[in-house]
Every structure is written in structure tokens, then in C-alpha cells.
Amino acid sequence: MAKFCLTKFFNTNNFFLEKPSKRIAAKRRYKIIKKVAQHNKKLRRKEKKNPTKKKQQIISVPNSCPFKESILAEAARIKKIKEEEILRKKEERKLERQMQREIATPMEVVPTEEKKSNNSKSILKKFQEVIDEADMVLEIVDARDPLGTRCLEVEETISQKNKQLIIVINKTDLVSPENLSKWLKYFKKSLRIEAVPFKSSIKPKQFGKKKFSDEEITRNSTCIGAESLLDIVDKYYNKACKNKISIQVGVIGLPNIGKSSVIDSLNQIMAYHSENTAGDKKSKLIAQLRSKVNLVDSAGIVFENQEDSDLLSNVLKSTVKIETIKDPFGPACAILEKMSTQQLMELYDITEFANSEEFFKKKAHRMGKLKKKGLPDVEAAARSVLIDWYTGKIRYYTIPPSAVKKSTNECIGLTEYHIDLKTTASL
């Protein structure tokens, strides 16, 4: 009877349920497949963007380690520091981009009423102080374009104040000795200005990541022209400044012309960090050279010339920061026009091209600069051409005008750049 009652109230089949079926609705199955495909695609894209990035190795500390807690605490502290550093750099980049948007770029037409950073009143005042206090003035010019990198307005002021002016032709290693001798003769005979050839010494930390042989490092680290320049300064001191305890020598020139490098080479120490933007030096910098000579550096100022008002000329003179140029295609195309197709093909190791647009595409592919969907980054290619022009990879030179030419101002307006194929192709 008891057995009958139990079977009545309990069904023994319910205690041994079958496994549920793995079949699911088709809608859900397709959704899972789609999500997995999207996830795998995202991983492949990340791996393509960072091919050298390795998977982070998880290091576990065994329980038997006696200092496990302190090791884990130290690891957590280092991780926190790294995260804070990443956030700080991110904020700095954000502020830098914001500042670049606010700065008026040199490729834009800026109204005369707007405030100009390069020719601000404070910088001009300090620049004037350097000229007033100096007994002798060294004007640094680029050996590739000595006439175009002169400051004619400053030279007129120096001549009115009856001060000694010496032209220092810097970066002489970027031109041939024949071209340099022509320019020295031109300054001496035609303009009657004393000119000194000069090559600044490059410090080991300025070589960058590129590897050089011991011979190349020795050649680049050697300063040429320092002794002759110091002899001229000593002669002037013995001749005109005997009654003075020391002589003030002002150093002037356009931005990125090598004023600081000249002073560093003469002083044989890294006196200060060199800047390559007009007006970055907010105060005059004095470096003592020997016991009787003080070199006074000034901020680089770009003076506007009525006959040379084209902003493109400032880019060709390397006086403008490449990062501030919004449209690099204008100056880059102007540089390409000065070179033949054969020269560009040999320099950049690319095939023949029909126009500048095709050249930038091929150069971007050669550099490995590609955007989404494999499109070439032509803007990066154009900026790289400007960098090559600034750093001297594209070797160019100018020929001094004949003595029969009209005036110095007109000669500057007619400056022609010539490309040196032999030295350019060898780089």
C-alpha cells in the first residue's frame, strides 16, 4: 500500500532528465557568428597598425616567494606611474595641437593690422639693444644662398652707426669649394665686405639615430674657419678697442641659419639649446669667448622686403618651421620645379612620373606612408621634401651676380637655385 502511494505522488521519470538540446534559433546563431567575425577583424587591424608590438607577457609571482606582497605593490606603483605619464603626454599633445591652430602660419596671408609674432616690439627692442651694445657685428649667412639670407635693413643700421661688420658664410660643407671661392671674391671685390667661410662642428648627440663611421664623425665634428674668425676679432680689438676691458661681438642672422652653432663651435661648449623659430630666444644670450671677447646672440627675425614679399621665399631660405605650414604642396612643388625628373628619380629611387601629384604618390609608397584603405599619404611625402631641403639632403647652391648688376635688393629678388646632382645623389 505504501509503495502504491509513493508511485502515485512521485513520477520516477522526472529524476533522470535528458540533456537539453544545443540547437538555438537561427537569428541568435547568425548574430554570434557576426560578432566573432567583427572581433577577429578588429584584432587583425590592430596587429596591422602595430606589427612590431608584442603581446604583453603576464608575469606571475609564486606563492612561495617571501616578498610577494612588496613585489606586487611595486609593480602596481610602476604601472600607475606609466599610466599617469601616458595621460600627461596625451594632454601635452592636445595643448600643442591647440596652440598650432592658434598660431598664424607663414603660408597664410596675414593682415598688417594683426600682431606678428616674428616682428613683435619686444623682440625688435632686444634686437636693437644687441646692435647698440656691440662693437663688432657678425652676420651669419647660409653658404647655399648668401645673398638671400642677408639682413639688409640691419646692415644699413650698422653702417649708419659706423660699426665693423663681418659676414660669416656658414654651412660651407654643403657647397663646392669653387662656388664658395666665387662668393668670397664677390663679397670682397663687389661689396667690399669682409667675409669668412665657416663650418660649425656637430656634437655626437646631434647625429641622431643614423650610424656614421669614425672618419665621418671626425669630419663632421671638426670646426673650420674658427681660427681665422678669431684672428679678425683680435686684430679689431688691438686696433680700435685697446682702451676697453672687453669687446662685445653681436651675432645676427635669420632663424635656423646657425647662429648658436657658430657660438658653440667657437666656445667649444654647449652654451645653450639652439632654437629654430624666429623669436624663440626671449632674451639676449652672452657667451664669454677668451678673456677679452663676449659673443652676444640675438633672436632670429624675418624682415619683410617689398620686393621679396612672397612667403614662399621664407620656406626656401629655411626660416619657417615645417610643422606650422598647413599646405606643404606649394613650396614642395616649387622645389620640384627646380629639379629635373631624372634627378628626382635618382635621389628618391622611384620610377618615372608624369606630374607632381604622381611623384608624391610614388614617394609616399616608397616611404611606406599609407592611409586607410592603402591610400598614399601625399601630405607626408610633401613635408619630407621640405625636410630634405632644410637638412641639406637636396643639395643646392646659388651663383653670385655679376658686378654689372643693378643693386643688391634687385639681385636678391632674382636669386636662382641650382641643384648639385653629384653631391645630392651620393647621399
CATH number for 201: 3.40.50.300
Does residue 115 fall inside a structural domain? no
Q: 189 Cβ partners below 8 Å, 6+ apart?
A: 403
- 278 close to 255: Cβ distance less than 8 angstroms: yes
The verdict on 224 and 331 lying in the same domain is: no
C-alpha cell at 315: 620656406
The verdict on 328 and 280 lying in the same domain is: no
Whole-number Å distance between alpha carbons of 299 and 118: 9
Burial class of 305 by CB neighbour count within 10 A (0 to 12, 13 to 18, 19+): middle
Range of the domain at 221: 121-297
* Structure confidence at residue 280 (pLDDT): 54
The verdict on 293 and 149 lying in the same domain is: yes
Does residue 13 fall inside a structural domain? no
The verdict on 160 and 259 lying in the same domain is: yes
pTM confidence score: 0.61
The verdict on 256 and 195 lying in the same domain is: yes
* Structure confidence at residue 37 (pLDDT): 97
Whole-number Å distance between alpha carbons of 364 and 359: 9
* Structure confidence at residue 215 (pLDDT): 54
CATH number for 386: 1.10.1580.10
Q: Single out the residue in 270, 297, 324 at which a domain terminates.
A: 297
Main-chain phi, psi angles of 304, to 5 degrees: -80, 135
Does residue 197 fall inside a structural domain? yes
Residue among 360, 345, 427 nearest 388 (CA): 427
Residue among 241, 232, 263, 235 nearest 250 (CA): 263
The verdict on 212 and 337 lying in the same domain is: no
Q: pLDDT 10s per residue in the chain (427 long)?
A: 444 555 555 555 555 567 788 899 999 999 999 999 999 999 999 888 887 766 667 778 888 888 888 888 888 899 999 999 999 888 888 888 877 766 544 444 344 444 455 445 666 777 777 788 888 888 889 888 888 888 888 888 888 888 888 899 988 888 888 988 999 999 888 888 888 898 887 654 444 445 555 555 555 667 788 888 888 888 887 777 667 777 888 888 888 888 888 888 877 644 444 444 444 554 455 555 566 777 777 666 665 543 444 667 788 888 888 888 888 888 899 888 888 888 888 888 888 888 889 999 999 999 888 888 888 999 999 999 998 888 888 888 888 887 444 444 444 444 667 776 554 444 4
Does residue 160 fall inside a structural domain? yes
Domains identified in the chain, total number? 2
The verdict on 288 and 142 lying in the same domain is: yes
Whole-number Å distance between alpha carbons of 152 and 315: 19
Q: Single out the residue in 297, 320, 350 at which a domain terminates.
A: 297
